[in-house]
């Protein structure tokens, strides 16, 4: 996706030749126009699929999730990062963050993912796939079905996308980072 | 705002005659079309103001913040709820949550609110005003200016809106709850 790749090249910051910071347009300050273009692009890439819900994780998945949901004309549901409190009414799962080297809990109310629903998972980053695997567990617990995974920035040099495709998931990434060289992003 | 008031009446859940749950359309499952209508409505209500940035707090402010930002053609910045780690590069503030009866830290990178900028604060709920007061502190630290406060649901029976207006802030609320009666919301 050209506008996204240009923003990554122009405004992404590479730290220690290994971390890409995109907090000036994707996950702290947010380029609202880019969010709209992302919503439109995912609608195009998954246009042949019947989709009932968009599912993401707070906080940085929400801004793009809401535009994707808008273009599909369906609700967005975001998983919350917190300890499950009322076990009867929520699905819970664990996400292992390889970046932060720790596990955290996510929850989704049982009211908002129902058996038989077709769910499109979206997220801002895909590296090792931890977040998507956590969301997949929640969709399965609900008896719903994942029809696709939409990622804004895939770290192509990590295992996540391969792992998800081996599970039979249809993954679409809008930008794929091949690696870093001399403090620059290689797309 | 009619569509919002209808959703509150139809889908809001009143708990213990004192708490309004709107997690089926505003802060867990999100009605994307409503978010767009909210964005348009705030653009209309603040149309005479010059605005450089929209500022909110994660997570539930983000979905509406991004549509407001879209209609103003400016970036959204969301304050993160976490302990300040790198004190040099961020503004920090504290928010007292009267609902949860505890204080939490919020941070905003100094890169994203600059001196002289005109900032519109938006949030999903206004009760005692704790979140807006925390954000106001960050805007002041940056030497920027608050041009308005856009609230989706104001609890009119609590002190927040009065307090903010006494500070000279222009507050616009899209729905105002007068109170609860027999488990129903009174608008």
Domain boundaries, chain A: 2-186
Is the confidence at residue A116, as pLDDT, over 90? yes
CATH code for B2-186? 3.40.50.2020
More confident residue, B18 or A42: A42
- What was the pLDDT predicted at B187? 95
Among candidate residues A135, A65, A64, A124, the one with its CA nearest the CA of residue A99: A124
- What was the pLDDT predicted at A64? 98
In chain B, residues with a C-beta closer than 8 Å to the C-beta of A77 are 28-30
For B72, which residue in chain A has the nearest alpha carbon?
A32
Q: Label the pairing between strands A90-97 and A102-109.
A: antiparallel
User: Which segments of B28-186 are extended strands (E)?
Assistant: 29-30, 53-57, 76-81, 90-97, 102-109, 118-126, 145-155, 171-177, 179-181, 184-186
**Which residue reads 């499950």 in tokens?**
A84
Look up residue A61 and give its DSSP letter: T
Look up residue B143 and give its DSSP letter: T
- What was the pLDDT predicted at B100? 80
Adjacent-strand bridge partners of A151: A123, A173
> Is A133 in the B-facing interface, judged by CB distances under 8 Å?
no
> How many Cβ pairs closer than 8 A exist between chain A and B?
103
- Confidence class of residue A105 from pLDDT cuts 50, 70 and 90? very high
Nearest-neighbour CA in chain B from A72: distance (Å): 9
For A81, which residue in chain B has the nearest alpha carbon?
B59
- What was the pLDDT predicted at A135? 98
- Confidence class of residue A8 from pLDDT cuts 50, 70 and 90? very high
For A63, which residue in chain B has the nearest alpha carbon?
B63
- What was the pLDDT predicted at B180? 95
> Does the distance separating the beta carbons of A29 and B75 come in below 8 Å?
yes
- What was the pLDDT predicted at B98? 80
Among candidates B59, B66, B76 on the partner chain, residue whose Cβ is nearest the Cβ of A58: B59
Q: Residue A90 burial by CB count (10 A; 0-12/13-18/19+): exposed, middle or buried?
A: buried
- What was the pLDDT predicted at A179? 95
- What was the pLDDT predicted at A18? 85
> Does the distance separating the beta carbons of B23 and A76 come in below 8 Å?
no
Low-confidence ranges of chain B (pLDDT < 50): none
For B66, which residue in chain A has the nearest alpha carbon?
A32
In chain A, residues with a C-beta closer than 8 Å to the C-beta of B122 are none
pTM of the model: 0.96
ipTM: 0.95
Contact A38, A66 (CB under 8 A): no
* Tens-digit pLDDT profile for residues A151-176: 999 999 999 999 999 999 999 999 99
- What was the pLDDT predicted at A86? 58
Nearest-neighbour CA in chain A from B106: distance (Å): 12
> Is B109 in the A-facing interface, judged by CB distances under 8 Å?
yes
> Does the distance separating the beta carbons of A32 and B66 come in below 8 Å?
yes
> Does the distance separating the beta carbons of B58 and A59 come in below 8 Å?
yes
Is the confidence at residue A87, as pLDDT, over 70? no
**Which residue reads 């499109």 in tokens?**
A120
**Which residue reads 């195009």 in tokens?**
A44
* Mean pLDDT value across residues A76-96: 87
> Does the distance separating the beta carbons of A59 and B33 come in below 8 Å?
no
Mean pLDDT of chain A: 95
Cis before B59? omega within 30: yes
Among candidates B25, B70, B112 on the partner chain, residue whose Cβ is nearest the Cβ of A28: B112
More confident residue, A61 or A18: A61
- What was the pLDDT predicted at B101? 86
- What was the pLDDT predicted at B163? 97
């Amino acid at each position: 996706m050209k506008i996204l790749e240009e923003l990554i090249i122009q405004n992404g910051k590479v730290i220690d030749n290994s971390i890409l910071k995109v907090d000036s347009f994707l996950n702290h300050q947010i380029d609202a126009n880019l969010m709209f273009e992302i919503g439109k692009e995912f609608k195009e890439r998954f246009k042949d699929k019947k989709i009932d819900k968009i599912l993401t994780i707070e906080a940085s998945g929400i801004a793009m999730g809401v535009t994707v949901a808008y273009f599909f004309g369906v609700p967005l549901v975001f998983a919350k990062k917190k300890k499950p409190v009322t076990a009867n009414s929520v699905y819970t799962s664990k996400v292992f963050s390889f970046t932060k080297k720790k596990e955290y809990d996510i929850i989704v109310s049982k009211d908002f993912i129902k058996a038989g629903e077709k769910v499109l998972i979206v997220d801002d980053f895909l590296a090792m796939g931890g977040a998507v695997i956590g969301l997949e567990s929640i969709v399965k617990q609900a008896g719903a079905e994942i029809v696709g995974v939409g990622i804004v920035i895939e770290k192509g040099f990590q295992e996540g996308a391969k792992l998800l495709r081996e599970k039979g998931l249809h993954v679409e990434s809008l930008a794929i980072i091949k690696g870093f060289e001399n403090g620059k992003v290689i797309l």
